[in-house]
Amino acid sequence: MKKHLIVSILALSAFSIEADGVNLICAPYQPLCTNCPEHQTLFPLETLSKDSESLDIEADKSEIIENKYHLSGDVELKSDSYFLAADDVEVFTSDNSTLAKGNVRFQDNTYLITGDVLSAKKEDDKLIATATNANYQHFAVGPGGANGYTEIISKTSNSVLLTNATYSLCPVNENDWLIDADSIELNLDKNRGIADKATVVFYGIPIFYLPKYSWVLEGRGSGFLTPSYDSYTETTQTGSSYSLRVPYYFNIAPDRDLVAAMTYMSSRGFIYEGKYRQLIAPKITEEHEHSLWEIETKYLSDDKITNLNRWLIDTTIELDLSKKTHLSVKYNRVSDAKYFEEIARTNTKVKTLNSHLKLSFDDPNKHLGVTILTEDEQPVNAGISVYTRAAEGSISKTFNADNKMPIQVDVVSTKFAHDTPGKESGIRTHGNLGITRELSRDFPIITTRANVSSTYYRLDNSNNINRTIAGTGVDFAFPFINQGNLYGSKVNHTLTPKISYNYRAKKVQGNIPIFDSTDKYDDIITFADLTSGERYTGLDRITNANDLTLSIESSHRDVNALDDDKDLLNMKIAQTFYTDDEVVSDTANTNYETRKSYSDIVASIDVAISNFTFGSAIQFNPDTSSIVKKENSLSYILNPRKFVSIALSDEGTKKTRKIYGAYPLNNSIHLFGGLDRTTSTGVTNAETTGIAYESCCWAFRLAHFKEDNGAGGYNYSTGVELVLSGLGSTATPLKDRIETNIPDYNANLRYKP
């Protein structure tokens, strides 16, 4: 049964339409398509005449007979609309037609034709060409143009008719696959190809037949997308199961489309799904790529194992209402917490699904921002319920922003809710007034700051709480700037020693519930964590401070670097000294916890040389003279088909190792793989291995997945896909899954290293 399914997938893939995926062509803008042969044409291209009134003629012999010109022996005719060469040519002046015989070569603005006999005629300034026993090529689109053989070809400016013909998007004379049909019509105006009694032939073997078949010639068009096949094992069963997904793409309009699909899971049943996308307004702001409405639904009726209806719905709206106002809406829910593990078999590491409605207003000229938000989160997989913002409103305004003493006012009010009964809930309103003052913009750079914040908790099941905390601070930065050379590049070197003093009043906060605050020091402490002056995220805990932080940053940056480019070499080190041995605790019902008079030392080094990057961050305990936590990463990326990345993390109680890579065996075949493993427990979080073959006109990919199911076992699955250039799409679940599991890998089959 499985063998028949695989054959069916490969066959149906051959008739997949190019739609929301990409074409596998090696277009002229892809000069590094190393697995494609040099672009060849049926014969060398000729430059047409620029004079619309002339006809250039070359021939060994010519004569005039009544109403025709007879040319023979290496004849060449060239006008502004076509080129024609043959052994024998007759030009009829009575009807403005031409008849060519023997070694015919014909070229207009889009097609090349070679054959035994060709006739050409102009009607209403439109050229009509007909040839027999001919080879043709659509050269105007570059190496990806269609080509083939036909007994009769009739071409006008807007259509091509082929009789007993073949059609392929492979390079000339390298037709790994082709369509063999009784007749083919290529309607250039409608951008459609229609074949009667069509057979798809792959490496000389017929793999599928259709009485009539239609496809899009270029760009998007309605039709089947590439099917996907997976084999997997249910945790409750010993034998393997399989799933087959067949999608169909509806090109509704230039600004909207729909993908409908049916998936059969042998262990579960049929899944019906649809994904609708629509551009609902032109792009207005630079922050958002487009204004878009997108809705995706999946439904499995009466699961064979659980006897439940399983479903997913995910809809988003990103809409620019004006240049300053944006609406963001997302609703993402599934039928149950185990939907991803048992049905989708992806996203098994996701803990919660977020749904929200957010309306934001931003006026940079007036330094004013306003946001209204409501959200909800659904726990999935092994996730647990968390606090959500049932409603939140915030406003931020900066006064005197362009001068030396800007004043910023922030107010945010949030209603927190929790799905677990008995959990504290209520409204938190927080206001902050902050002032900064630049005392010196020269060496040294001196910046002072002061703020006062007030927070009011109106709790549902407890007494209301008020908290007011004031703070101040000053920064002394001593930047030393010079130019030099590093790794053969001219660089700007900036060395910045910095002294920061922070004071914040000590306030009892153990009676305040924790809605959204986390401790940034729970994992490795970073340079940014230590120099920020605030230990906790959120607003439920605000650390007391009477601290001095010393830091040094050394930056070597290419003089021609862009804003997004990395430093060639960046080194940082910092340590904070405390005058108070107690700090506000984030443990429930606990006011303070003790600490040393100084923090651990944090340091990092990052190197980026050409295709090589290296990063290392450590947390060093001076008391034990040992590194207590560390993160290391190393990557060498030539392109998304040839790279290796390694990341090692040691958080003290948890150690992880991540390795990703891809390696080309030759210009057409490459291997890819990834491993995410918690070495301290021996659990493999995700493991991906695969191989892909890519030629100019078809591609095949095979991938195997192993993922932790969170219940002491693993989910295994294997996916395959075959894509024929121009007739298939690479927008499959397999593509998304590989790219999620292997960062830096590009599963887009159009890419050529």
Sign, Cα dihedral of 71, 77, 82, 87? positive
Q: Where residue 516 falls among pLDDT bands split at 50, 70, 90?
A: very high
Q: What is the mean pLDDT of the chain?
A: 86
Give me the mean pLDDT over the 618-642 stretch: 94
Q: Is the pLDDT of residue 730 over 70?
A: no
Number of H helices, E strands in the chain: 4, 42
pLDDT at 569 over 60: yes
Question: What pLDDT does residue 284 have?
Answer: 57
pLDDT above 90: percentage of residues in the chain: 53
Q: Is residue 587 helix, strand or coil? A: coil
More confident site: 538 or 36:
538
Max Cα distance, the chain (Å):
114
Output the pLDDT for position 267.
94
| 3-class DSSP assignment, residue 585 | coil
* Whether residue 594 sits in one domain with residue 486: yes
* Model pLDDT, residue 750: 54
Q: Is 719 domain-assigned?
A: no
Whether 412 shows a pLDDT value over 70: the answer reads yes
Q: Quick one: 296 and 432 in the same domain?
A: no
429 and 372 share one domain: no
Give the pLDDT score at 170. 86
Q: How confident is the model at residue 722 (pLDDT cuts 50, 70, 90)?
A: confident
**Tens digits of residue pLDDT in 303-331:** 999 999 999 999 999 888 888 999 999 99
* Predicted confidence (pLDDT) at residue 46 exceeds the cutoff of 60: yes
* pLDDT for res 78: 87
- The Cα 177–Cα 634 span in angstroms is 42
Residue 727 within any structural domain of the chain: no
pLDDT band for 6, please (50, 70, 90 cuts).
very low
Domain boundary residue among 164, 185, 220? Answer: 220
For residue 5, give the H/E element and its range. helix 2-14
651 within domain boundaries: no
Q: Residue 291 domain-assigned?
A: yes
> From CA 291, how far away is CA 281, in angstroms rounded?
5
pLDDT score at 7: 40
Taking only the tens place, the pLDDT of each residue in 444-500 is: 999 999 999 999 999 998 899 999 999 999 999 999 999 989 888 899 999 999 999
Q: Is the pLDDT of residue 665 over 60?
A: yes
Q: Report whether the peptide linkage leading into residue 379 is cis, meaning its omega lies within 30 degrees of zero.
A: no
What range defines the domain where residue 294 resides? 268-386
For 189, other C-beta atoms within 10 Å of its C-beta total 8
pLDDT at residue 37 tops 60? no
pLDDT at 39 over 80: no
**Position 447 in a domain:** yes
Distances 6 to 9, 251, 556 between C-alpha atoms, Å: 5, 27, 55
Q: Could you tell me the pLDDT band of residue 518, with boundaries at 50, 70 and 90?
A: very high
**687, 676 Cβ separation under 8 angstroms:** yes
The lowest-confidence range among 202-211, 310-319, 332-341 is 202-211
What pLDDT, on a 0 to 100 scale, did the predictor assign at position 290?
61
Band of pLDDT at residue 50, cut at 50, 70 and 90: confident
Q: Are residues 381 and 429 in the same domain?
A: no
The pLDDT assigned to 513 comes to 94
Tell me: do 569 and 429 sit in the same domain.
yes
Predicted pLDDT of residue 578: 96
Among 331-335, 521-525, 726-730, the range scoring the smallest mean pLDDT is 726-730
Segment 184-209 shows an average pLDDT of 86
Query: Quick one: average pLDDT of 645-657?
Result: 93
* Domain annotation covers residue 366: yes
Domain boundary among 340, 364, 386: 386
Q: Which long-range contacts (CB under 8 A, 24 or more apart) does 705-713 make?
A: 705/737, 705/741, 707/348, 708/348, 708/683, 708/684, 709/235, 709/341, 709/348, 710/341, 710/348, 710/381, 710/382, 711/235, 713/235
Say yes or no to pLDDT of 25 above 70: no
Nearest in space to 419 (alpha carbons), one of 384, 391, 459, 460: 384
Residues 379 and 424 in one domain: no
Q: Tell me: the pLDDT tens digits for 253-295?
A: 778 889 899 999 999 999 999 999 988 765 555 555 567 889 9
One domain, residues 371 and 474: no
Residue 445 and residue 512 in one domain: yes
- Looking at per-residue confidence, does 36 or 364 come out higher? 364
Among 628, 653, 670, identify where a domain stops.
628
- CATH of residue 147's domain is 2.60.450.10
* 64 & 176 share domain: yes
DSSP 8-state secondary structure symbol assigned to residue 139: G
pLDDT at 443: 87
Residues 661-682 have a mean pLDDT of 92
- Rounded to whole angstroms, the Cα distance separating 43 from 137 reads 10
Q: Where does the pLDDT of residue 16 fall: very low under 50, low under 70, confident under 90, or very high at 90 and above?
A: very low
The whole-number pLDDT of residue 231 equals 87
The total of structural domains in the chain comes to 3
pLDDT, position 2: 42
Cα separation of 237 and 135, whole Å? 56
Residue 711 exposed, middle or buried by CB count within 10 Å (0-12, 13-18, 19+): exposed
pLDDT at 285: 55
**Which two tokens mark 673?**
């793989």
Q: What is the mean pLDDT of residues 185-204?
A: 86
76 exposure class (CB count in 10 Å sphere: 0-12, 13-18, 19+) = middle
Residues 621 and 553 placed together within one structural domain of the fold: yes
pLDDT over 70 percentage in the chain: 90
Are residues 431 and 548 located together in one domain of the fold? yes
In a domain, 342, yes or no: yes
pLDDT for 732 beyond 80: no
Residues 442 and 299 in one domain: no
pLDDT value at position 91?
A: 84
pLDDT in tens, 226-237: 677 888 888 778
Spatial separation of the C-alpha atoms in residues 725 and 17, rounded to whole Å: 10
Least confident range of 44-53, 218-227, 411-420, 565-574: 218-227
> What is the pLDDT at residue 286?
56
Position 628 scores a pLDDT of 95
> Is 637 inside any structural domain?
no
Q: Where are the beta strands (DSSP E) in 3-138?
A: 56-58, 61-65, 68-78, 83-92, 97-107, 111-123, 126-138
Global pTM reads: 0.77
pLDDT above 70 for 33 = no
